[in-house]
């Protein structure tokens, strides 16, 4: 396939072909005529636009997108667990050897046990940890009948079992989905989302989350939150207490802490970067497009995104380890356009523009 | 040597046949399941309507005609035989319900009633679920039919008598705009 870079009309940044929005400033790029894969772009996988003169592909375009995405997420999840386990085992061996001559087998043995425990816990208990860390509590059908109904509607539309429903008591509107597979999934919304969105908008948001469930995005992003996010959080916490707390002032025996702090200071940004890279903007676009395919109502989600992004309140329960789970980044640190380079999400403006163009 | 190659080819072919047969069975069951899901939601709607009518009756005594129509449409839909008649009756029921909801809007007392708003939400959701279940049914049928008709899975489908399923078509009555008589 010819792969000429696509210059952004807004800032001139040379984007890879096939991108929907500019990677630098988030502006919507012109629809490209010579797309390599006809249905690679999520925005074109809406059934109403699929009707082309060409013979239809083996399966409906959207269907293939899901299968590709599911397979990719399974691969990524295994890779992530493998990488963390490998790192632990290496670290264990090195420490074992450092403590005693020829001590590496003991260190390795320990590390393997720890790696297995961490791997199993993050896979089977990951969603419980994420939900607890986000202060989410389960809600009953009696308490929130409309929310339950909407979740069930979207589950039927996606042909999946209805996920568990959780609520965060926070006035900032936002939502996320987590779990290891569609049968063990949970959709969480904030009180603010229920209060500020109407039924159609809520349906768009839940449709977006249901697409994450179907594409198995939930599994990978849950593992990222547990395995990578927790390290970043730990580093943040440690460095902060080192800088401002008693640890730094205590002169005696401070050397190991200084060394550890130096090590963490190097490792932490690396892991933070990993966290950013792990989450692709493409999957947010795909979830938006899939949501529209479920609800057949692009304006509902567009208005919802506008309301969520336009809300000035920060979400207290969100942190650096869980920010990538949410439908719109809950840490409102970056400006709309500045976020494009370092953000876990595409600029909301670009998402809204694409959704509006579908209507 | 040539014998081994031949044997290998046969094994691969048999494995492929098993895999595609199983995936066809899976797709066919998905279509069936999707169809049943529609029925579940339709039945739920039949159950909800008498409740709504019961609650609303006290408030809108002079709208007996609309209520009668809803009940009538419900009973007709329940008794309808065959997909075509059923689709038509369901369409009429949807129309009758829409006019009822439109009327509720003009009764402030009724709108404020918790029971009514809860039932209205339940019925709205059930209507949505019916629509989404049909949407999913059609998607499933498309996936199944594509697999049956396309090469090479059509070879397996043909030899084991997998036949194409029918799409659900929206009845003409349902496409027409709803007439609301407010007098």
CB contact under 8 A, B125 and A149: yes
Of B118, B146, B147, the CB nearest to A145: B118
- Residue percentage of chain A with pLDDT more than 90: 32
Q: A143: nearest CA in chain B?
A: B118
Handedness of CA A130, A134, A140, A144 (dihedral sign): negative
- Residue A334: per-residue pLDDT: 44
Chain A hits for B36, Cβ within 8 Å: none
- How far is A166 from A137, CA to CA, in rounded Å? 5
- Residue A90: per-residue pLDDT: 82
Distance from CA of A94 to the nearest CA of B (A): 47
pLDDT band at A40 (very low <50, low <70, confident <90, very high): very low
Please indicate whether residue A160 or residue B154 has the higher confidence score (pLDDT).
Answer: A160
Digit-coded pLDDT (tens) for A102-151: 778 888 888 889 889 988 999 999 999 999 999 999 999 999 999 999 99
CB contact under 8 A, B143 and A63: yes
Strand, helix or coil for residue A40: coil
Cβ atoms of A325 and A176 within 8 Å: the answer is: yes
- Residue A104: per-residue pLDDT: 82
- Residue A5: per-residue pLDDT: 63
Of B30, B132, B150, the CB nearest to A156: B132
CA–CA distance from B183 to each of A218, B56, B63, B102, B180 (Å)? 53, 19, 11, 13, 9
Handedness of CA A203, A205, A209, A215 (dihedral sign): positive
- Residue A252: per-residue pLDDT: 53
Residue B72 C-beta-side C-alpha neighbours within 13 Å: 9
Does A156 touch chain B if contact means CB atoms closer than 8 Å?
Answer: yes
| pLDDT tens, residue order, chain B (183 aa) | 888 999 999 999 999 999 989 989 999 998 998 888 888 888 888 888 888 888 887 776 667 788 888 888 898 888 887 767 777 888 888 888 888 888 888 888 777 788 888 888 888 899 889 889 988 998 889 888 888 888 888 888 888 888 888 887 765 545 555 555 544
Does A159 touch chain B if contact means CB atoms closer than 8 Å?
Answer: yes
pLDDT band at A45 (very low <50, low <70, confident <90, very high): very low
Please indicate whether residue A134 or residue A42 has the higher confidence score (pLDDT).
Answer: A134
- How far is A205 from A356, CA to CA, in rounded Å? 15
User: Residue A78: which H helix or E strand, with range?
Assistant: helix A61-99
CA–CA distance from A199 to each of A22, A187, B100 (Å)? 32, 16, 20
User: Residue A136: which H helix or E strand, with range?
Assistant: strand A136-138
Of A146, A152, A156, the CB nearest to B136: A156
Angle at A83 between CA A77 and CA A88, to 5 degrees: 130
Span A57-82, average pLDDT: 71
Is A97 an active-site residue?
A: no
Of the listed ranges A27-41, A149-163, A283-297, A328-342, the one predicted with least confidence: A27-41
Mutate to test the interface with B, among A144, A148, A153 (most CBs of B within 10 A): A153
Q: B120: nearest CA in chain A?
A: A146
Backbone angles phi, psi at A162, to 5 degrees: -70, 125
Q: Which of A97, A209, A313, A349 is catalytic?
A: A209
Judge whether residue A47 has pLDDT over 70.
Answer: no
Q: What is the mean pLDDT of chain A?
A: 76
- Residue A7: per-residue pLDDT: 61
- Residue A50: per-residue pLDDT: 29
- Residue A235: per-residue pLDDT: 74
- How far is B86 from B76, CA to CA, in rounded Å? 9
- Residue B88: per-residue pLDDT: 82
Digit-coded pLDDT (tens) for A238-292: 777 666 655 445 555 556 666 766 776 777 677 766 666 666 677 888 899 999 9
Q: What is the DSSP string of A150-206?
A: HHHHHHHHHT-PPPEEEEE--SS--EEEEESSGGGEEEEEEHHHHHH--HHHHHHHH
CA–CA distance from A168 to each of A79, A103, A143, A194, A197 (Å)? 31, 48, 14, 10, 15
CB burial of B153-169 (b: ≥16 within 10 Å; e: otherwise) equals: beebbeeeebeebeebe
pLDDT band at A10 (very low <50, low <70, confident <90, very high): low
Chain A hits for B129, Cβ within 8 Å: 152-153, 156
Does A200 touch chain B if contact means CB atoms closer than 8 Å?
Answer: no
Judge whether residue A153 has pLDDT over 90.
Answer: yes
Report yes or no on whether pTM surpasses 0.80.
Answer: no
Distance from CA of A248 to the nearest CA of B (A): 59
Q: What is the DSSP string of B47-95?
A: HHHHHHHHHHHTT-GGGHHHHHHHHHHHHHHHH--SHHHHHHHHHHHHH
Q: What is the DSSP string of A95-124?
A: HHHHHSTT-HHHHHHHHHHHHHHHHHHHHH
Length in residues, chain B: 183
């Amino acid at each position: 396939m010819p792969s000429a870079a696509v210059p952004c009309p807004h800032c001139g940044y040379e984007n890879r072909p096939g991108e929907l929005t500019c990677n630098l400033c988030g502006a919507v790029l012109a629809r490209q005529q010579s797309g390599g894969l006809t249905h690679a772009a999520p925005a074109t996988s809406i059934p109403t636009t699929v009707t082309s003169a060409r013979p239809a592909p083996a399966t409906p375009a959207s269907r293939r997108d899901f299968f590709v995405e599911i397979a990719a997420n399974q691969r990524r999840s295994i890779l992530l667990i493998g990488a963390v386990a490998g790192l632990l085992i290496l670290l264990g061996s090195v420490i074992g050897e450092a403590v005693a001559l020829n001590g590496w087998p003991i260190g390795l043995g320990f590390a393997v046990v720890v790696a297995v425990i961490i791997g199993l816990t993050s896979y089977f208990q990951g969603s419980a940890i994420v939900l607890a860390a986000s202060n989410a509590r389960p809600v009953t059908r009696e308490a929130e009948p409309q929310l339950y109904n909407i979740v069930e509607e979207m589950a039927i539309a996606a042909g999946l079992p209805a996920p568990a429903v959780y609520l965060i008591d926070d006035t900032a509107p936002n939502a996320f989905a987590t779990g290891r597979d569609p049968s063990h999934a949970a959709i969480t919304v904030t009180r603010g989302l229920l209060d500020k969105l109407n039924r159609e908008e809520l349906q768009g948001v839940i449709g977006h989350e249901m697409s994450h469930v179907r594409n198995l995005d939930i599994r990978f992003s849950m593992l990222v939150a547990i395995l990578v996010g927790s390290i970043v959080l730990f580093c943040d916490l440690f460095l902060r207490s080192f800088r401002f707390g008693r640890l730094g002032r205590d002169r005696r025996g401070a050397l190991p802490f200084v060394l550890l702090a130096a090590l963490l200071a190097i490792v932490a940004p690396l892991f933070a970067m990993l966290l950013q890279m792990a989450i692709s903007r493409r999957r947010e676009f795909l979830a938006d497009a899939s949501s529209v395919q479920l609800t057949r109502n692009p304006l509902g989600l567009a208005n919802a995104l506008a309301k969520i992004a336009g809300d000035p309140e920060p979400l207290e329960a969100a942190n650096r380890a869980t920010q990538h789970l949410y439908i719109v980044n809950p840490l409102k640190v970056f400006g709309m356009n500045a976020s494009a380079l370092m953000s876990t999400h595409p600029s909301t403006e670009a998402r809204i523009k694409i959704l509006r163009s579908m209507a | 040597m040539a014998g081994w190659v031949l044997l290998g080819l046969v094994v691969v072919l048999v494995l492929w046949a098993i895999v595609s047969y199983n995936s066809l069975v899976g797709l066919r069951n998905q279509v069936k399941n999707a169809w049943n899901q529609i029925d579940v939601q339709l039945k739920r709607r039949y159950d909800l309507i008498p409740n709504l009518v019961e609650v609303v009756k006290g408030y809108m005594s002079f709208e007996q005609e609309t209520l009668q129509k809803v009940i009538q449409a419900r009973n007709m839909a329940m008794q309808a035989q065959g997909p075509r008649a059923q689709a038509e009756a369901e369409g009429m029921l949807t129309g009758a319900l829409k006019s009822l909801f439109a009327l509720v809007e003009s009764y402030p007392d009724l709108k404020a009633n918790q029971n009514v708003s809860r039932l209205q939400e339940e019925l709205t959701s059930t209507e949505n679920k019916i629509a989404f279940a049909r949407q999913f049914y059609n998607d499933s049928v498309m996936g199944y039919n594509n697999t049956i008709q396309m090469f090479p899975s059509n070879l397996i489908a043909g030899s084991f008598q997998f036949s194409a399923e029918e799409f659900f078509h929206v009845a003409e009555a349902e496409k027409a705009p709803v007439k609301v008589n407010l007098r």
